[in-house]
Structures are given as structure tokens and as C-alpha cells.
Structure 1
Amino acid sequence: MALGPARTLPPDIAAAQREIEEVARGYGLDFFETIFELVEYDELNMLAAYGGFPVRYPHWRFGAQYEELSKGYTYGLQRIYEMVINNDPCYAYLLRSNSMTDQKLVIAHVYAHCDFFKNNAWFAHTNRKMLDQMANHATRINRHIDRYGYEAVEEFIDACLSLEDLIDPHLPHIKRWEAPKESVQSPLAASSEDEAQPSVSKFRAKPYMEEFINPPDVLERELEERKREAKQREESRSFPEKPQRDVLLFLLEHAPLKSWQHDVLSIIRDEAYYFAPQA
């Protein structure tokens, strides 16, 4: 569904918007440039189903959400007065059927949202150009659909969306672990690895007493026992060694994914982190 072409504010609402913006800045609010657009109820429902963005990748869940919102509006069960997205500039959508009083109240409410988006620490690490990024995501997934087929891509997106909440919402704000340092293996390191192999302890003995002091069969049994213990230690080692809350990142790094699946999963993860502060 496409948005209608005439979405600019009429003169009376535009004048009220400029006045409210001046008042908001006078109270100390600091927000990104905010662009208001006037839309019909079905267009606003579409935007809401898309999470506030005019373009998203094709998937059945957006249609299901649109259908739910449309029925709720038709039956008088709910009504969306406005919608604003965290972006620079911020985009806000006003419902055309709102009264002038509603429009003024909503515009003031939007500026408070925009100030929060810009200055709240929880939103500080979100992508401020997500409007463009969402369109880029849609293009990439459409390219995969053209190449691998709609059903294959849709089924994989379904699987990814079932895991989209398994991220670490605090990861953008804190450092949970040190990044591994790259190093070039030296002969010394190689020799140390050889020394780490299971070995047996031998008593010092003269050559003619070697087989009596260090019986070969005893040494062989001891070596086998140490190999078995080393194997048990290796099998009992947890993977990953440290707990990782970001399951999607773990899958991106370790799952046997095809290149297009890796790209789709990275898109789902990026969008999950964008929406996380609003959850």
C-alpha cells in the first residue's frame, strides 16, 4: 500500500506547529528537526504496522498487523492520533480526521517525544538514519527473494523473528568482554602447544636399567589414561566459554548459515536493537 501524495500540513496546522515548536524550545526542549505529515487513517495504520516506517521488507506479519489495526479503527476499538519515529530528522504523522484541538495537543506531544529520542541515554546508540536503513534492508531482502524465492526467504525470516527478542539490550552501552587480540603464531608458541600434549612422567635411569625403572607397558597405560582425561576435559568445556546474552550475534558468528541467510539475520538483529529502547 502506498502513501497518498498530498501529505503537507494545511496553513492553519502549519502555523500552530511553528508556534508550538517555539514554545517547546522556550521550555528548554532540544530535539531534532521534526517533519510533520498529514495522513488518512488507513495510511496511519499502514505506518503503524510497519513500525512507523513507510518502507519495510515484505513479510506477512506486517499485513496481519495492518488488518488488526484497521478492524480496530473500523469497529471503534482503537484510534492512533499520531506516530513519530526516532530518526534525524524526526518524522511525525498526524491523523487528518483529528480536530484542531487534537492536532495541537498531538504536535506538542511529538516534540516531547523528539526531545526524549535525542537526549535520553537509552536511545543514544540507536541508528539516527534508520529511515534510510529500513529502505536499504527492504532492498537487500527483495534481492534475496528474487534470487532464492519468496518461500525460502519468508520461512527463514519467520525463524529469525521467533528469536528477535534474544538480544542483549545493554550491549550498546557496556563492554561485556575484551575483544580477542590478533597474534601471529611463532615457533615458540608452536612448541608450547606440543608441550601441552599428554605426556608421562619417567624416572631418571641409566640406559641398561631403563626398561626396569620405566616399564614400557606401564608408561603406555599411563599415557592412555592421560589422553582419556584430556579428552574428557575437552568435552566438558562449555561453548561459548562465557555466557552470551546476544543469541543472534552468537548465531551470526557460529551458525552454519549461507551468505544470504547471514545477511537476513543481521538485518533482523539490527532492527531488533533499534526497537529495543522502545520495548
Structure 2
Amino acid sequence: AYLLEGNSLTDQKIVMAHVCAHVDFFKNNYFFSKTNRKMIDGMANHASRVRRHMERHGQEVVEDFIDTCLSLENLIDPMSPYINRQAVKKVGNDDEDDGQDRSGRLRSKGYMDSFINPPEYLEAQKKKREDEAKKAKHRFPEHPQRDVLQFLIEHSPMEHWQRDVLEIVRDEAYYFAPQAMTKIMNEGWAVYFHSKILTEKALTAAEVIDYADANSGVLATSPGRLNPYKLGVELFRNIEDRWNRGQFGKDWDECDSMEQKRNWDRRTGLGRDRIFEVRKLYNDITFIDEFFTLEFCVEQKFYSFGFQERSGNWEIMSREHKKVKNQLLAQLTNRGQPVIVVEDGNFENRSELLLRHVHEGIDLDAAQARDTLRNACKVWTRPVSLLSKVEGKGKLLRCEDGNLSERSAEYPGS
């Protein structure tokens, strides 16, 4: 948002009120709580480091490598600041946890032991443990790693300046990740409060029409496109109205009369408190998952659409609430991008990198997968492979020196 010289006074007021609401959201939403609060200074430091690398290695060389890194910047783990991905090793005796001791012997009464733990079973358990220990010893990383950039920084044989550039790209990717995770909420919150501030406090009577015209442009929705400003503000207003009228809780959930729900008003007056609580604790996925109700979907006339091969056109596929909601959530999960993990840093014992696409029903875009693989290969400096599914069958895409090859492969769990 900018206070441009050519803006009218009304536009300047909209910008200032809108930005004030954004600041409130950035300051209080949980998903921004882990970000660097001095990132302006951090980015200035990043810029000086990049300029220093350019002076030493040449501007074109450094810029080309930055472009390569930027094509990989989404290969991070956006939830890692909030959760621990590593399994916590148990301390002490595990016997009581699963009814099985470390030898694989199942707990049993003495007189039943020969039946519950026959010699062939114990031998099979011993062999299984040995195989698992052998695999774990040679597996690198021990578990699939979601933060691909971190793995490349730690293990790729890059030059020092290249590692520094990749660290800069990764730091900034994590800084901006919460904005992608809360786009709908953030913009909805800003529209909600710039509307409140301007219509109740800051506008003169002569400015109302100009404001309405500008605001309608912000909230305009064209067919086939999701407007985060519109969806966000309407959801916040819906939440406030529902909690003001007591449209929540066990009685509300169990009511199956649409007419009764339309006239439901217990005058609880909890709406404002509720939206501030939502602003603090939710991100877009949890926001949509909890508050995108059947009533809201019908009221706002949402629908899902897709490409109809028979007609060759994009058409409305469904107005069913569950399908619309699921499509929205699918678009928001991992910011609408595929989940890629490091599966093996020593693939086939040749120091090659194996990445795996966590397939969740949608195939990769083949062209983008190839471009990303080529750039990952530049950073790893050795061949890189990507395991995925195409039309339900495992495929391994391999890049070596910029040349791509493809073959069938077994996909885990298939």
C-alpha cells in the first residue's frame, strides 16, 4: 500500500486505515510470532552481503545463482517454526508402551509364553530389527526431510558464497511464509477495519461516494477467481454476526431447520471478542475449515469449477458445500504448491539426491517439475532424481548435467 501523490484524500485515508489493520494483524497473529521483528535491518545486511559477492565473483554469476535459488525457495517447511518434526526418543523402558520388549517378545503369562512367543516368531522379530537397524544406519537423512533448502545448505558441496546466498533466500522465504499462510485472513481483517474506521470516524459526507466506489473495486469478484479480500471480510462479518446472535454451540450444531437457523438470535453479543480471538489464533486453512459453513456457502453463492473435456470449457462442477470447501482447502494447503521432501541424500550409494513428491491426489506439473529439478541439480552439483506418481503409477525423473530421463519406479505405499 502506498500513499501516492496522485491519490485523492479519500484514497489516502483508505490506505492508512488498511495498513493500520495489517499492522495489528502482523503484531498479534500467532503465525507471525516467530518472524524476525528486525527484518528490515536483516534485509539490508543481506543486500550488502550479495553486493560483496558480486564484487568478488561477478554480477552475472551471482545473479544467475540467485535466480536458481529463487526457483527453489518454496522447498521449505513452513510449519517448522511452530512444531518439532523430529521424533522424540523415549527414555527408559518401552515395554509398557506396546506390550513388547526390545527382543520382540510379547508379554504373556509364563504358561502361555511358548504359544505367544514361539521360536520362529522370535527369530523373525530379530531379523526384522537387524534389517531396520541396517537401513537406519545407511539412511541419509534418517527420516524424510521437508526443508529441502536446509538440507542443501548443510550437505551440498557449494562454494562459501553460494551457501551464503542460499541461506539468504531461505531466511527470506521463511519470513514471508506466514503472509502466504494468512492471506485471506489478513486482507479480510484489513478490509473489515478500514471500512469501520472510514465509515464511522474518518470520512466526511462528501467522501462517502468516492470511498464506496474505491472499496467496491477492492471487493469485486470475477467469475472463476477467488478474491481473498472479499472472502476474508465476509467471513469475519459472518463470524461476528453469528457470535452476536448465539449461532454456535451444541444447540446450533444439532438444529437441522434452516428456517429456525435464519431466525436464531439469542443476543449473546460475543461477536467482536470472537473475531479478535480468531485473528490471534488461526491461519487461512483453519479459518476456512472451521468457519466456511453450509449457510455461508449458500449465502455467498460459492461453487467449484473445473475443465470439462467434453465441451472444452471451464464449467461449474458443483455447488455442494463439502466439495467447494474441499477445493478451497486444497488450494490453500502448502500454499497450493506440491510438498517435496528429501528422501535420500545418497541415492543408490552414488551421492545422488533423491527427492519425493508427497502425492495427495494431484500430479505434478511436468514442465515445472523439470525446471525445478534442473535447478536443484545445479545446487547439488550431482544428479538429482524426483520420485512421484503420474496417473497412479510411480515415476522417477532424473536430471544429470541438465539432461533429463524418466523411468518407472515403485512409489512408497503404492
**TM class by smaller structure:** 0.3 to 0.5
Q: Which has the higher Rg, Structure 1 or Structure 2? A: 1
TM-score, normalised with respect to structure 2: 0.32
TM-score, normalised with respect to structure 1: 0.46
Question: Per residue, is there more strand in 1 or in 2?
Answer: 2
